[in-house]
Amino acid sequence: MQPFPLALASLALALALGLAGASTPVCAPAADAAGAGQAKPGKAKPEKAKETQETYALAKNLPADFKLRLKPLEKPGRHIGGCFPGRHPDQGPRAWGRATQGSAWDPFDNVYYTLAARRDGAESMRVMTWGDREQDRVFVAETKWEHARFPHQSLALYRPSKDAPVRFFAQASVFEAKDRKVDAKSFVLNLLEWQKDQGTMAVLASWKLFDEATHAPCQMNACISPDGQTLVCRARRLADGVWVFGVWKTATLLKAMEGRDPAQPAHPIDAQKLCERIFASPWGTRNIALQSLATDGRLLYGLTSPADMKPHQIFVMDLEGRKVLERRPSFEGFEIAPEFHKRCAEGEGLFFAKVAGELRLVMDMSLAVYDRPDENGMPSLKWTRINHYYVLF
């Protein structure tokens, strides 16, 4: 992974919050850290959240490069345009219909992958070229709508070299068929391979990451570091509702598959003892990563963004479970198309991608407007969605 660009701004930071917790033993939950109170979400123009000593401040004793990297998070993200995530150019943005749910960038092909979900549980993946300019983002391909393949959220691209096939670590789909869920699959991680010619996904391998006896079914929100070496997933403890995060090395997971029959991926390997560590969220029961997780291999970033016109928030911790930063609620996307009375601006994904030649953390924001005029100036009388992208650092 390339080093992150250095901020030129002053290093004067509000250093009010101490690192909570200590290094965790392998696969043992870390002690919970006390979390700051949840900022109250607002309307289209939310009221300003009350700041406390612990809120919106970088932790003390951070390495200097962490401070430089996270400094830009004090400001709103920089808008780099949008795109039509539907089939392009023969169909317009209404071909998409619903919010995107997963985000992944391929550095070798310079394309962007995103998920879509139907209410009955079927999922599909669509692909577009990635670029600094809006006009560079063009539809490339898509997969079929399928049950039992895609998760609702999060595609963790695993492609260690240009010669390697396009594969994803992703939570197993809990939908076996239309409107039929199997909650036990919430704890299973699949390795998917994109079969572009057929427009489908193949399941190559499966691992069980958490156990249902002590964890509740949830979106694990699998994410992987840009170098492809570190995988992070989350679960929720049944006993107290606290969110926990597990850290695995991809090489360890793949090695565990050696000697297994490749025709039997439906029987997941128990990977609970293969983890590097499991730690409790330093924010306790607050739903960190309601939308998306991202990791650079050293820090973990969780995106929370409710539907409608309510603020986005990002929570940063290290991979030992120590609180690093709770970002001030932000309103990326609220400034777009203000003339529409009915709007929805929902942050859906965090992912690393190159922008202006540098590896950056980007937020995918799904903007929906109702009754948008069509190309002839007539009201569409339906929701129209366009994705917009914001560079966070």
Q: What is the 3-state secondary structure (H, E, C) of the chain?
A: CCCCCCCCCCCCCCCCECCCCCCCCCCCCCCCCCCCCCCCCCCCCCCCCCCCCCCCCCECCCCHHHHHHHHHHHCCCEEEEEECCCCCCCCCHHHCCCCCCCEEEECCCCEEEEEEECCCCCEEEEEEECCCCHHHCCEEEECCCECCCCCCCCCEEECCCCCCCCEEEEECCCEEECCEECHHHHHEEEEEEEECCCCEEEEEEEEECCCCCCEECCCCCCEECCCCCEEEEEEEECCCCCEEEEEEEHHHHHHCCCCCCCCCCCCCEECHHHCCEEEECCCCCCCCCCCEEEECCCEEEEEECCCCCCCEEEEEEECCCCEEEECCCECCCCCCCCCCCCEEEEEEEEEEEEECCEEEEEEEEEEEEECCECCCCCECCCEEEEEEEEECC
* pLDDT for 263: 61
* pLDDT for 147: 87
In b/e form, how buried is each residue of 210-249, taking b as 16+ CB within 10 angstroms? Answer: beeeebebbbbbbbbbbebebbbbbbbbeeeebbbbbbbe
* pLDDT for 14: 32
* Alpha-carbon gap, residue 21 to 29, rounded angstroms: 11
Contact between 165 and 199 under an 8 Å Cβ cutoff? The reply is no
Main-chain dihedrals φ then ψ at residue 274, nearest 5 degrees: -95, -5
Pairing between strand 269-270 and 200-208?
A: parallel
Quickly tell me which residue has 């079927």 as its tokens: 122
* pLDDT for 122: 86
Main-chain dihedrals φ then ψ at residue 187, nearest 5 degrees: -100, 5
Residue 252, by phi and psi: left (phi above 0), alpha (psi -120 to 50) or beta?
Answer: alpha
* pLDDT for 145: 85
Closest CA to 80 of 301, 363, 307: 363
Cα separation values, 98 from 90, 125, 283, Å: 18, 13, 30
Cα separation values, 121 from 151, 152, 195, 349, Å: 9, 8, 21, 19
| Tokens, residue 62 | 């951070």
Closest CA to 291 of 97, 99, 8: 99
* pLDDT for 95: 44
Main-chain dihedrals φ then ψ at residue 273, nearest 5 degrees: -90, 0
48 class by beta-carbon count within 10 Å (0-12 exposed, 13-18 middle, 19+ buried): exposed
* Alpha-carbon gap, residue 145 to 243, rounded angstroms: 31
* Alpha-carbon gap, residue 110 to 321, rounded angstroms: 32
CA atoms 250, 128, 344, 186: torsion sign? negative
Closest CA to 13 of 70, 51, 53, 52: 70
Q: Please compute Rg for the chain using Cα positions.
A: 20
| Tokens, residue 178 | 């239309």
Q: What amino acid is encoded at 272 in this protein?
A: Q
* pLDDT for 43: 31
Q: pTM for the complete prediction?
A: 0.81
Q: What is the mean pLDDT of each run of 10 residues along the chain (393 residues)?
A: 37 33 39 33 34 59 83 91 59 53 91 87 88 87 84 90 94 86 86 87 91 91 95 95 96 87 71 94 91 94 88 93 92 86 85 95 87 61 79 94
* pLDDT for 244: 95
CATH number of 64-259+277-391: 2.115.10
